[in-house]
Amino acid sequence: MTYCVGLFLRGGLVMLGDTRTNAGVDNVSTFAKLYTAGVEGERALCLLSAGNLGITQAVWNRLQEGVLLDGETQTLLTVPTMFRAAQLAGAAIRSVFATDGAALKAQGLSFSASFLIGGQVKGGPHRLFLVYSAGNFIEATADTPFLQIGEHKYGKPIITRVLTHDTPPEDGVKLVLVSMDDTLRTNLSVGLPLDLLVYRADSLALSPVRRITADDPYFAGLREGWSGRMRQTFRDLPSPDWL
Amino acid sequence: MTYCVGLFLRGGLVMLGDTRTNAGVDNVSTFAKLYTAGVEGERALCLLSAGNLGITQAVWNRLQEGVLLDGETQTLLTVPTMFRAAQLAGAAIRSVFATDGAALKAQGLSFSASFLIGGQVKGGPHRLFLVYSAGNFIEATADTPFLQIGEHKYGKPIITRVLTHDTPPEDGVKLVLVSMDDTLRTNLSVGLPLDLLVYRADSLALSPVRRITADDPYFAGLREGWSGRMRQTFRDLPSPDWL
């Protein structure tokens, strides 16, 4: 399993993924699921992946080597818009399915892979998409300004209670880390370290990916602070008087 | 879908279930999933059910009519211990499976049903069990003092952060209602009204089941209070200083 979440904010994008992969509970590894591609001043893109690692790595490799889209071989560095970037990711998934789908099915394995792709290409706005294993995709909007892949349920309630499209990116970072903490506490197949990328709208520049380990002082303080305050907040609520 | 949760506390049991059933999103109904059986001063038992309504209602009917266990026809009013009550629920599920399992399978339907059964029989302690569709079961302990059936993921983080075996039943009611609220907000197949039962350890008496509607002043206040305070608590946490 995996948990990745992307926020679509007026001020930019916040992208967070864990790094755990597992084939059963006795074969656990660390693999980055956050990929970036960009040319400063022209484009900045970020991918987060969930699903079968063989498929997701193959998709990322094809996206770098070039995928046929509308009769042309393109990469994330050549597509003219973010919509085309999402289409290209879909085309890459379909090309891996064409190569590996039948063999996986013959072994009883499902073709499972999904991606978040966010970023901005000069001349257009910043956008965030979720690409499914069939290569189709949806886009985050101001009404629902976040998308998740993988184990999304544990970390969803806090996001739906707090997030709006106008949440500042700094608070967005706080929020995705709390959401991830809710998931880490409950699902062993989601694990540290985390990879975090913040993209500022119209910057057309990739900031460094921040790798967050268990020792990260901000994350450790946030986890402890949030848990303690949640318990206090809970205590402060009135108990039923009809018991 | 369904969400039911039971808390196993030093001071007793808290049992909460929603009442929504659905066959697709265009066929939604209200059915109680909380059943009780008791004789004051001798025993008090409560069942919560999840899964196929045809199966769970059949199980409840068989439990009232009597199920063969260890060569004797027994009901929840005759079993000598809570362990036997859990066994009896398992035997009832297996007898429904023997009757209906093949026909359901022939139509491509899975045999899905699970139960929480909690209560106390005179001479023994109060206990809480989760009975699976195969009729096997597990018991809550002081280490993990809660059990859930149905859509359990959204409502789990708040429970794992707050609950201990020593949580008073009043706070347990507050907690299961917040946990249910997290679930109601996200999964349309879980719906109001709710049925709540609090059992006080060693009382051997069933208090009335409280039906909680959207108008219930305590639940409405709790929902609003919790959301507002969560947002405030979130705002109070420090933002990252490295952005």
* A208-228 pLDDT, tens digit each: 999 999 999 999 999 999 999
**Superfamily (CATH) of domain A3-50+115-235:** Aminohydrolase, N-terminal nucleophile (Ntn) domain (3.60.20.10)
Interface size A-B, in CB pairs within 8 Å, comes to: 117
Q: Would you say the ipTM is above 0.90? A: no
User: Hey, is the C-beta of A221 within 8 angstroms of any chain B C-beta?
Assistant: yes
pLDDT at A189 over 90: no
pLDDT at B194 over 90: yes
The domain segmentation of chain A, as residue ranges, is 3-50+115-235
User: Hey, is the C-beta of B173 within 8 angstroms of any chain A C-beta?
Assistant: yes
The b-or-e profile of B196-226 (16+ CB within 10 A means b, else e) is: bbbbbeeebebeebbebeeebebbeebbeeb
Tens of pLDDT, residue by residue over A91-121, are: 999 999 999 999 999 999 999 999 999 999 9
Name the closest residue on chain B to residue A209, using Cα atoms. Answer: B243
CA distance B69 to chain A (A): 36
Question: Which of A167, A239, A242 should one mutate to test binding to chain B, selecting the residue with the greatest count of B CBs within 10 A?
Answer: A239
Cβ-Cβ contacts under 8 Å, B218 against chain A: 238, 240-242
Backbone angles phi, psi at A49, to 5 degrees: -125, 150
User: Hey, is the C-beta of B204 within 8 angstroms of any chain A C-beta?
Assistant: no
Query: Which of B158, B221, B237 lies at the smallest CB-CB distance from A222?
Result: B237
Residues of chain B with pLDDT > 90: what percent? 91
CA distances from A20 to A89, A104, A150, A176 (A): 22, 22, 11, 17
Q: What is the rounded average pLDDT of the residues A119-127? A: 98
pLDDT at B188 over 90: no
User: Is A71 or A22 the better-scoring residue by pLDDT?
Assistant: A71
CA distance B85 to chain A (A): 27
User: Hey, is the C-beta of A190 within 8 angstroms of any chain B C-beta?
Assistant: no
Query: Which of B198, B225, B240 lies at the smallest CB-CB distance from A173?
Result: B240
Which pLDDT score, from 0 to 100, does residue B66 have?
A: 97
Name the closest residue on chain B to residue A182, using Cα atoms. Answer: B157
Q: Which long-range contacts (CB under 8 A, 24 or more apart) does B125-132 make?
A: B125/B82, B125/B201, B126/B8, B126/B12, B126/B13, B126/B82, B126/B199, B126/B201, B126/B202, B127/B8, B127/B82, B127/B83, B128/B6, B128/B7, B128/B8, B128/B13, B129/B82, B129/B85, B129/B86, B129/B89, B131/B86, B131/B89, B131/B90, B131/B93
Cβ-Cβ contacts under 8 Å, B226 against chain A: 233, 237
Residues of chain A with pLDDT > 70: what percent? 100
Cβ-Cβ contacts under 8 Å, B240 against chain A: 170, 173-174, 218
Of the listed ranges A203-207, B189-193, B203-207, the least confidently predicted one is B189-193
Tens of pLDDT, residue by residue over B157-180, are: 999 999 999 999 999 999 999 999
**Nearest-angstrom CA–CA distance, A183 and A18:** 10
User: Is B45 or A21 the better-scoring residue by pLDDT?
Assistant: B45
B217: confidence class by pLDDT, cuts 50, 70, 90? very high
B23: confidence class by pLDDT, cuts 50, 70, 90? confident
Cβ-Cβ contacts under 8 Å, B154 against chain A: 153-154, 156-157
CA distance A154 to chain B (A): 5
Query: Which of B160, B162, B186 lies at the smallest CB-CB distance from A160?
Result: B186
CA distances from A64 to A15, A68, B36 (A): 20, 12, 62
Strand, coil or helix: what is A17? strand
Which pLDDT score, from 0 to 100, does residue B186 have?
A: 84
Which pLDDT score, from 0 to 100, does residue A186 have?
A: 84
Q: What top-level class would CATH report for the domain B3-236?
A: alpha beta
Cβ-Cβ contacts under 8 Å, B156 against chain A: 154, 186
Tens of pLDDT, residue by residue over B113-148, are: 999 999 999 999 999 999 999 999 999 999 999 999
Contact A239 B171 (CB under 8 A): yes
Cβ-Cβ contacts under 8 Å, A160 against chain B: 185-186
User: Hey, is the C-beta of B157 within 8 angstroms of any chain A C-beta?
Assistant: yes
For chain B, what is the mean pLDDT? 95
Which pLDDT score, from 0 to 100, does residue A92 have?
A: 98
Helices H / strands E in chain A, number of each? 5, 14
